[in-house]
């Protein structure tokens, strides 16, 4: 191995990268409190959003918030409600609730991180598309955002990340 290669560059060819800094040159992500990159080389993150802004994060709301609003307004038809209840129950069993929504460790830190699915979470994403059909039937416009750089990752599991968005991250 040539001496001109940094430790990080030389390990990119391996199965994992031990990042010297908190910014990973391999995947372009910054991870709060982590120095190791676990992301596959071309992992894409996916977020389903509506046009209404969330009060906490000041970013566009996700589909679960949109469905809660339709439930509260009482406009769901019985078959839509049954379909959503089944999907919601599936998510409760098959998707962990993120433990963190902020880079800060302070107990009352503002929760500004938003959730993204990993593109490898095929079944989860398919269920989200089923929710989009219900919302669109009620005139709710849905955008599907894809990015390789969701922001400063504060929580990660097999199917999702929560990240505080970079200033240039579309949310």
Note the pLDDT tens digit of each residue in 82-133: 999 999 999 999 999 887 676 666 676 666 788 999 999 999 999 999 999 9
Using CA atoms in the order 157, 162, 163, 168, what is the torsion angle rounded to 10 degrees?
Answer: 110
Q: Nearest 5°: CA angle at 16, between 11 and 17?
A: 55
Q: What is the pLDDT of residue 30?
A: 52
Q: What is the pLDDT of residue 112?
A: 75
- 2 token code pair: 């040539």
Element (H, E) at 127: helix 122-137
pLDDT at residue 13 is higher than 50: no
CB 135 within 8 A of CB 66: yes
- 76 token code pair: 């769901």
- 35 token code pair: 């120095």
Rounded Cα distance between 37 and 22, Å, is: 9
Give the sign of the dihedral formed by CA 17, CA 169, CA 160, CA 162.
Answer: positive
Residue 36 CB coordination number (10 Å): 10
- Most confident by average pLDDT, 6-15, 92-101, 105-114, 150-159: 150-159
Chain length of the chain: 171
Residue with tokens 């439930």: 71
- 4 token code pair: 């001109």
pLDDT at residue 137 is higher than 80: yes
Q: Which long-range contacts (CB under 8 A, 24 or more apart) does 102-109 make?
A: 102/154, 102/164, 103/32, 103/152, 103/154, 103/164
Q: Up-side HSE of residue 13: CA atoms within 13 Å toward CB? A: 6
């Amino acid at each position: 191995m040539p001496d001109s290669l940094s430790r990080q560059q030389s390990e990119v060819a391996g199965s994992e990268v031990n990042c010297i800094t908190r910014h990973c040159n391999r995947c372009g992500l910054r991870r709060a409190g982590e120095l190791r990159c676990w992301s596959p080389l071309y992992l894409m993150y996916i977020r389903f959003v509506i046009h209404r802004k969330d009060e906490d994060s000041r970013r566009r709301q996700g589909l679960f918030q949109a469905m809660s609003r339709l439930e509260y307004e009482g406009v769901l038809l019985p078959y839509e409600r049954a379909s959503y209840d089944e999907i919601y129950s599936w998510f409760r069993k098959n998707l962990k609730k993120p433990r963190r929504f902020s880079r800060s460790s302070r107990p009352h830190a503002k929760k500004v991180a938003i959730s993204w699915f990993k593109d490898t979470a095929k079944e989860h994403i398919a269920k989200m598309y089923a929710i989009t059909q219900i919302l669109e039937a009620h005139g709710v416009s849905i955008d599907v955002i894809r990015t390789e750089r969701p922001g400063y990752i504060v929580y990660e599991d097999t199917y999702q990340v929560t990240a505080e968005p970079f200033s240039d991250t579309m949310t």
